[in-house]
Amino acid sequence: MIRALWFLAKVAIVVAIAVWLADRPGTVSINWQGYVVETSFGIAVLIAVAALGAAALLYRFVRALIRAPRNIGRYSRSRRRERGYKALTRGMVAVAAGDAATARKMARKADGLLNEPPLTMLLSAQAAQLQGDDRAAKEYFTAMLDRPETAFLGLRGLLTQAIKSGDRVEALQLARRAQSLQPNTPWLLGTLYDLEARAGDWAAAEGTLQQAIQAGAINPEEGRRHRAALLLERSFEAERRGRGDAALSHAQAAHDLLPGFIPAAARAARLLVRAGKHKHAAKTVERAWRAGPHPDLTDAYREVIDGYDPLTRVKLFEKLRNLAPNDVESHISVARASLDAQLWGEARAHLNKALEIQPSRRLYRLLADLERAEHNDEEAARAWLAQAAAAPSDPAWTCDACNAVSHGWGGLCGHCGAFDSLQWKAPTMTVSLMAPETSPAIAHQPHSAALPQSAS
């Protein structure tokens, strides 16, 4: 509407000018070098206007001609970028969908079209990884280290590769380098802690563990247990270096941190005995016994009260039993002390009570021992042993990560190298790290080495 009005106004102005000129006739005469041109003033104005119009058109044409190459370049560049980003997007979708061939194809295409190395390198690396081409992926990740904006991502890729290939030394170096770039990244702190612990760098692992807990990578409860395990390993290390006082203080710190953590209580008690603090040692075992009786605590308590005669030892084990009177382990501990003291009736009574609560291989073996010791009855003993073979397996220190069974607690799994992965539970019998003479026949033994444990 406004356009139409504006057009009408322009027409009106032109008409008005034409009328005005027609009302005022006159001539224009040009005399140049002997040429004479004479025309009316109106025509002269018309020619002048037409000439100006032609000049303007010519100017526009020439300008467009000069700018053409640049405009064509700009257009083709934007088309290229558009196609590049499209390829990048399709490549990322292919990575997410696990389509390695398309991912690689799109990565190559995007790399050719786009001048965005950080984006295309990452896609190329991921595509190569997806295709199982670890060498190409490594090259891309390594190239990413040269640019500050991609260095961390490159390190992450290399770190993942190193862990996957089992090269823990390389992995630890990469994790430390990545941490220097981004110190508070939760996943990195969790990984670094794990690598340091597996490498046996206990002090560093303890520091990283604290950071990982603060960053939310490891929950505080799990973190406390890891810390207790680290303290125990420091205690073993101190002992290896002949520093008995440090060995004891680390073990006690672990026990104080987690009173129900059996390995810490048992070790602290043993080291207290060695330091001549028997009363304190007894208290340590009692405290843990209250939280949950355990065969390792029984063994530690036997060392604590080793100086007493067998009958007194039975009385002391009875006292210990009263802290958890109805636990199967409580009955077994008194039964074992009674066997040592040749109190056959007492031993049998407690073994029977234990049998009522939870039959197990160990219990049947003790009953067989009793038959041999009390009556020298080999036939009865064999009958109990036959029952032992059919009974469910006893709990043992079993690796959560690989199911390997260890004859004692250690910070590192002797089979898969995981840290703080041993749990007291019935093994599923995949791998056994037990000493050969106690190893059940059903378990195969790919690695016969026992845990790297310094306590024994």
Q: Which is nearer to Zn ion, 239 or 420 (CB)?
A: 420
Q: Is 422 in the site for Zn ion (CB under 5 A)?
A: no
Q: Which is nearer to Zn ion, 118 or 395 (CB)?
A: 395
Q: Is 399 in the site for Zn ion (CB under 5 A)?
A: yes
Task: Let me know if 377 is exposed, middle or buried by CB neighbors in 10 A (0-12, 13-18, 19+).
Answer: middle
Q: Is 447 in the site for Zn ion (CB under 5 A)?
A: no
Q: Which is nearer to Zn ion, 94 or 405 (CB)?
A: 405
Q: Which is nearer to Zn ion, 183 or 446 (CB)?
A: 446
Q: Which is nearer to Zn ion, 247 or 418 (CB)?
A: 418
Among 289, 411, 415, 433, binds Zn ion (CB under 5 A): 415
**Residue 185 backbone class (left: φ over 0; alpha: ψ -120 to 50; beta: rest):** beta
- Give the amino acid at 192: L
Q: How far is the CB of 392 from Zn ion (least distance, A)?
A: 22
Among 106, 404, 412, 451, binds Zn ion (CB under 5 A): 404
Q: 114-120 long-range contacts, Cβ below 8 Å, gap at least 24?
A: 114/80, 114/81, 114/84, 114/85, 114/87, 114/88, 116/84, 116/88, 117/143, 117/147, 117/150, 118/144, 118/147, 118/149, 118/150, 119/88, 120/88
Three-class secondary structure of residue 32 per DSSP: strand
Among 64, 401, 426, 435, binds Zn ion (CB under 5 A): 401
DSSP state of 436: G
Q: How far is CA 101 from each of CA 89, 90, 108, 128, 378, rounded to the nearest angstrom?
A: 15, 12, 11, 9, 70
Q: Is 402 in the site for Zn ion (CB under 5 A)?
A: yes
Q: Which is nearer to Zn ion, 198 or 336 (CB)?
A: 198
For residues 415 and 430, the answer to whether their CB atoms sit within 8 Å is no
Q: What is the Cα–Cα distance from 242 to 259, expressed in whole angstroms?
A: 26
Q: Could you tell me which of 235, 309, 228 has the C-alpha nearest to residue 274?
A: 235
Quick one: which segment of 163-171, 265-273, 380-388, 400-408 binds Zn ion (CB under 5 A)?
A: 400-408
Q: Is 416 in the site for Zn ion (CB under 5 A)?
A: yes
Q: How far is the CB of 445 from Zn ion (least distance, A)?
A: 14
Number of shown-chain residues binding Zn ion (CB under 5 A)? 8
Q: Which is nearer to Zn ion, 71 or 423 (CB)?
A: 423
Quick one: which segment of 216-224, 281-289, 360-368, 395-403 binds Zn ion (CB under 5 A)?
A: 395-403
Footprint of Zn ion (CB under 5 A) = 399, 401-402, 404, 413, 415-416, 418
